[in-house]
Amino acid sequence: MITRIRSGFSLLSVICWAAGGAVYAAGSDSPLLFVDIAAEAGLGAPTWCGREEKPHLLESGGTGLALFDYDMDGDLDLFLVNGWRLDGTEIAERGRNLFYRNEGNGVFLDVTERAGVGDDQWGTGVAIGDVDGDRLPDLYVTNFGTDILYRNQGDGTYLAMAANPSVEGWSTGAVFFDTDADGDQDLFLAAYVDATLEEVLFAEPTLLWEGLRVMVGPFGLDGLGNRYFRNLGDGRFEDATEESGLEDAGLFYSFAVSALDLDGDRDLDLYVTNDSNPNYLYRNDGTGVFEEVGLWSGAALDEMGNAQAGMGMAAGDLDNDGLLDLFVSNFWKDVSTFYRNLGDFIFEDVTQELGLQQSTYLPLSWGTTLSDLDLDGDLDILVANGHIFPQADQAPTSSQTSFKQANLLLLNEGGRFVDVSARSGPGLAVVESSRGLAVGDIDGDGDLDLVVSNVDAPPTLLRNDSQRRGSWLMIEAPEALRATVEIGGNRLIRHRVIGASYVSVSDQRFHLGLGRTDQVSKLTLLWPDGSQKVLTDIEVDRVLVFSR
């Protein structure tokens, strides 16, 4: 085990917190404070998604992002997927994906060209995995076109592989995970609708919505099938969609995907959000064979039995019972849904019980996270919002919506979520049409920061300058499924969640806010083969690094 100790605040954080706090936090009962520092961090380049008027559905989806340490220097770097800018029926700009190295001093340096990842296809999403077992994070980009796998060469550069596993067309979410316990990482790809570039370029807004003409879809457009590729262990992948049981039986419109152990049997199951259709929940039997159990698990529909417009998702163990709960972000004028995991693949819609109905009803929601943002030991929620129709700005007042929307910050107060968006600093006052969201400790001060991708605009980098309600631990333990800490008589559990959010990747380390404590009495790490690592009497506010 290697222990890296990073204590408390940086001087910069303290100064900014003090300044921001005087304006936004005084008299406020929100302990959370976020400041958008994208511009000063060098993240000024926009990511594109079609035309201003968005006549085709492809132009509504935005792009994802990834926070991961590509050069293994201990801090989180940023990959931003980019789309195209269109002008009428012409391609005005083929947006190049953007890769930024975290310089560790609050600045991100554009290393796209040097790293060799500046592809200019119309990008949609991203996944991070280790496809060749060299312990270096490889990069996978989903596109409207052919997807690309980049292998990390360990010298700060990537090599685009000639033969990729790919969905031809509009692929969206992607995850690498070892489905069959053979030691290598397989790939699941979600796809949305079947469309051609010609259809996109010549699309017209013909659907009548709130008295306005807007883009058509997804109904009226053919779905495109999700695919699963098995890693053969020698750098090649084979399509094993049908034999694995990961078929997209309904050709539903899929967006976010996450691999996670939902029944505690130490293999990774799969959850897929579907727009306007029931979400998929695939149960892994431990050998890489899956059974779709969404409809009868209770996690595919809301409590009324309705299919919703699943966009993004988050997962976390809200009540520390050892079972991962699910939060699915949905469309405007429909609530985002929280599914409590009752065990044995039974889920209960507890949206109302948790106080989420009112706050999530009007936003059109995408990327999201369940993370402890104030370090008090429970999980809070942040949701990226933005409408798909630019015409929403001309909609009747009764629509209560707009294309650009503020993001939503929901503070966990005793098991109910309180909307503190308006009281949590200038970062939450940013109004954009947001899509992807990734979480990680970007400045190394122990609390979680966020990056949000925005349609036709630069990203928002939300530095967490919140009032601290406790200590923290960051645990790097590759492949571990679960980290359990005991503090006195209390227990906190964090699970491995791969993917989730919306076509984006968050830092894969376990982050634990601990509440007010100086010491953790016990830490237990669990791996898929059942092996455990147990440590006792651990000092807090530090990064712990484990190998198997």
Point out which residues bind another protein (CB under 8 A).
Answer: 219-223, 249-252, 277-278, 280, 292-296, 298, 301, 304-307, 342, 344, 346, 348
> Which burial class, exposed, middle or buried, applies to 214 when counting CB atoms under 10 A from its CB (0-12, 13-18, 19+)?
buried
Nearest to another protein of 279, 336 (CB atom):
279
CB of 281 to another protein, least distance (A): 11
Nearest to another protein of 278, 316 (CB atom):
278
Nearest to another protein of 277, 484 (CB atom):
277
CB of 344 to another protein, least distance (A): 7
Nearest to another protein of 150, 331 (CB atom):
331
Helix, strand, coil percent content, the chain, rounded in steps of 5 = 10, 40, 45
CB of 345 to another protein, least distance (A): 8
Closest CA to 315 of 272, 369, 375, 384: 369
CB of 296 to another protein, least distance (A): 3
- Calculate the CA dihedral of residues 465, 331, 391, 169 and round it to 10 degrees: 100
CA distances from 319 to 8, 191, 196, 302, 523 (A): 27, 33, 45, 20, 18
CB of 208 to another protein, least distance (A): 15
Nearest to another protein of 253, 546 (CB atom):
253
CB of 247 to another protein, least distance (A): 8
| CA 516 distance to own-chain centroid | 28
Which residue's entry shows tokens 């692929």?
171
Residue 218: is the preceding peptide bond cis (ω within 30°)? yes
CB of 300 to another protein, least distance (A): 9
CB of 219 to another protein, least distance (A): 6
Number of other CB atoms surrounding residue 198 within 10 Å: 9
**What's the rounded Cα separation, in Å, for the pair 57 and 1?**
49
Closest CA to 187 of 138, 124, 121, 145: 138
**What's the rounded Cα separation, in Å, for the pair 184 and 176?**
9
Where do runs of H (alpha helix) occur along 49-125?
112-115
**What's the rounded Cα separation, in Å, for the pair 476 and 471?**
17
- The answer to whether 280 and 271 are in contact (CB under 8 A) is yes
Amino acid at the residue 311: M
Query: Is the CA virtual torsion 466, 471, 497, 314 positive or negative?
Result: negative
Could you give the 3-state DSSP secondary structure of residue 46?
A: coil
Nearest to another protein of 220, 233 (CB atom):
220
Using a CB cutoff of 8 Å and minimum separation of 24, what contacts does 354-360 make?
A: 354/415, 354/416, 354/417, 355/416, 355/417, 355/418, 356/410, 356/417, 358/419, 359/408, 359/410, 359/417, 359/419, 360/329, 360/330, 360/335, 360/336, 360/408
CB of 221 to another protein, least distance (A): 7
- The answer to whether 351 and 344 are in contact (CB under 8 A) is no
Q: What are phi and psi of 361, to 5 degrees?
A: -75, -45
Closest CA to 367 of 524, 256, 223, 462: 256
Residue 472, token pair as written in the block: 């923290």
**What's the rounded Cα separation, in Å, for the pair 72 and 156?**
10
**What's the rounded Cα separation, in Å, for the pair 186 and 504?**
18
Nearest to another protein of 313, 526 (CB atom):
313
CB of 277 to another protein, least distance (A): 7
Nearest to another protein of 196, 394 (CB atom):
196
Nearest to another protein of 107, 289 (CB atom):
289
CB of 420 to another protein, least distance (A): 33
Nearest to another protein of 250, 426 (CB atom):
250
Nearest to another protein of 220, 396 (CB atom):
220
CB of 362 to another protein, least distance (A): 21
Helix H or strand E segment including 192: none
CB of 165 to another protein, least distance (A): 23
Where do runs of H (alpha helix) occur along 218-324?
241-244, 294-297
Nearest to another protein of 222, 539 (CB atom):
222
Nearest to another protein of 132, 303 (CB atom):
303
CB of 474 to another protein, least distance (A): 37
Nearest to another protein of 210, 348 (CB atom):
348
